[in-house]
Structure 1
C-alpha cells in the first residue's frame, strides 16, 4: 500500500494531501482598526516534491502578477501535483488598495525583508510573509512589472551563480535573463538566506494589464513547475535559448525637453546608435540620444517629456555577435505570446 503523504500545515490550518485550501492569515490593520488578511491559496499535492511559493504585488500597483496568480489557481489540480504550491496574489495589501507601489509610510516593502514582529507596518508584514511562507518554500517566483509609466519587456532577474535559480530562469522561457545582485531587504535576498532559490519575473507596466506579458508569465510559471517535476505538461512552443546578460544600463536624458523615441521594447541596438532625440518643445534644438552599449531594450519610459538626468531606456548588454540572434529570439517570442490563448 502506497504511503499517504503527510498534511501541510499553515497558520493552524491543516491541508490534507490532494486538497486545495484558502488560508487567510491576519496580517495588519488599517487606521480604522479594520483587519487585513494575507490570502494564501495552498495546493498540497498527493506526491512528494518541492514547495513552490508564487507571489505578486509586493509592490501594490504591479497588477500583471495578480492576474497570473488568478489564472494559475484555475489551472492547478492538487490530485495531479507533486509537491506543494503556495500562491499569494497580493502581498502588499496596503499598496494594492491605494493603487500605489509603497506602504502608507512611503516605504518600499521589497526593502523591508526579513522584517521584525516589533517594527513598522512594512517590517511586520515582511516578517509575517518571510516567517510563515518563505521559510516553508524551496523555490520562489516573485512576479513584478515596471514602475508607473515604465514598461518592461518580459525578462527574468536572478542570481545565475545559483544553479537552481538559473535552471528556473532558463525553464521560464523568456528572451532575456538578467543577472542581478540580491538587494538588501528584498524577497530574493531573504530567500537566499533561508536556503530557497528565487527568481523575479518582470513584465509590463504598473497599474495596467498587459495580456501578452500575463500569458508569458503564466506559461513561465508552469514551465518552471514542469522543470521541478511538479506537473506534467507540454513544453513551450517557442524554441530558443534565452540570452543571459550580466550587465544592464539605464540611458538618461542629458537635456530637458520632449523625447522623440526611435526604438521600442525588444529592439536590439548597437553602441553609438541613435535611439531617440531630446528636443525643445519650441522646435529650435534637437539632441540625439545614443545607446552606450550593444544590447536589447528591456525597459522604456512611457512619458514623452523628461528633465535632465531622468531614466529613458533600460538596455541589457549583449555582445555584438549576439545582436542578430537577439532579434530573432525577441521576434519569435512576441509573435507567439501576442496570439497565444491561455
Structure 2
C-alpha cells in the first residue's frame, strides 16, 4: 500500500501526516492518518471524522478506537482519520478560514480554494485505497441529531452497511453535490454517514453507539472476531421534513429526540420575550423526531424539528399532474 510517499506492508501499523498548507504565521497544518494493516488480504475501510471542525463526537469516537487499541483487523486494512479539518477545529468552526465547507468541495482542485485543496489531497491520497467508509458527523448550529445513519437506502451496498451498523435511525439521504459521499459513489465506493449530538458538545450515548456500530460493520466484513449485536433493528425513514418557525421569539420544545409524534400533536411553544404572545406549534405530519433545535431564540424560518417519515413519498397516479413531494 502506497500512502503519502510511504510503502506500508501487510501487518504494519503506521501513522503518517498529510501536509495540507500553512497558517499565515508559517505553522504547518497537517492531518494525522493512522493505518492498521492485517497480514491477511481483505477490504480497506475508512473511518473519518472532523470534516467540520466543530463536530467533536466523531473525533472522540475514532480517538477512543485508537487509544483503546480496538483497530486490529484480522484481514484487510483500516484507515482512521480522527480529524480532517484542522482549521475548523482550531477555530471552533464548521468551515475552513475562507468560509467554505470541505464537504461541499469534493472532488476538489489543487489550485482551488483552501476547502477544495483539502478535498483534493484527500481524494488523491486516501480515496483510491478505500472500499468502504464511515464518515462521522454531528448536528450544527445548536441543532442536535438523534443517533442516525444517513445513506442511500435504495443502493444495496450502502443500505447493507447502514443496516449492519444499526443506529437507532437510518435516513434515506440523497447525494449532495460536492459531498464526500457523492465523490465516493462516483468511484463505486460505499460510504455511510453517522450523525449524533450537536456541535461542540459530547454526546456520550451517541459515541458509545458509534463505536458499537463501527464494530458491527467491521465484523460484517470479517475484519474483527466479534461485535455486540444491536438490541433492536434500526428504524428506516425514507423521507425527512423540517418544521420551521412561523414566528420569531423564544422556542420551548415539548418533545425529545427519538420521540414519535402524531399529526396535530403540540410539539412546542413560541412566545415573545414580554409575556404578551404564546403560540402552540402543532405537527403537520406524524413521524419520529430525529433532530431538534436547542436554540431558545428563533427567527421566522428557523429549523425547529427534523421529522423522519417511514413511508416513501407517494407516486403520482396517471390521472394527476401533481408532483411527488421531495426532500
Alignment equivalent of 1:282, drawn from 274, 288, 312: 274
Which of 67, 76, 83 is the matching residue for 2:60? 67
CA drift of 1:260 comes to 2.3
Match of 2:286 in 1: 294
Corresponding residue of 1:318: 310
- Residues 96 and 123 of structure 1: CA distance in aligned 2, closer, same or farther (over 3 Å): same
Task: Classify 1:95/1:77 alpha carbon distance in 2 versus 1 (closer, same or farther; 3 Å).
Answer: closer
**Worse-matched range after superposition: 196-205 or 128-137:** 128-137
CA offset at residue 150 of structure 1? 1.3
Gaps of at least 5 residues in structure 2 are 312-327
8 Å contact 1:294–1:318 — kept in the other structure? Answer: no
> In structure 2, the residue corresponding to 1:57 is in which secondary structure?
coil
Contact 2:146 2:195 in 1 (8 A): yes
State the distance in 2 between where 1:215 and 1:175 align: 12
Work out whether residues 148 and 207 of structure 1, in 8 Å CA contact, stay in contact via their aligned partners in 2. Answer: no
TM-score, normalising length: structure 1? 0.88
Distance in 2 between the 1:48 and 1:151 partners? Answer: 39
What residue in structure 1 maps to residue 299 of structure 2?
Answer: 307
Of Structure 1 and Structure 2, which has the larger fraction of its residues in helix? 1
Query: What is the SS of the residue equivalent to 1:233?
Result: coil
- Count the aligned residue pairs: 310
**How do 1:35-114 and structure 2 match up within 5 A?**
35-73=28-66, 74-78=68-72, 80-114=73-107
Query: 5+ residue gaps in structure 1?
Result: 1-7, 320-342
Q: Render the CA deviation track for 1:216-272: whole Å, top value 9, x for unaligned.
A: 111111111111111111332x43221111101111111111112110111110111
Measure, in 2, the Cα distance between the counterparts of 1:24 and 1:173.
32
Deviates further, 91-100 or 274-283: 274-283
- Alpha-carbon RMSD across the aligned residues, in angstroms, is 1.2
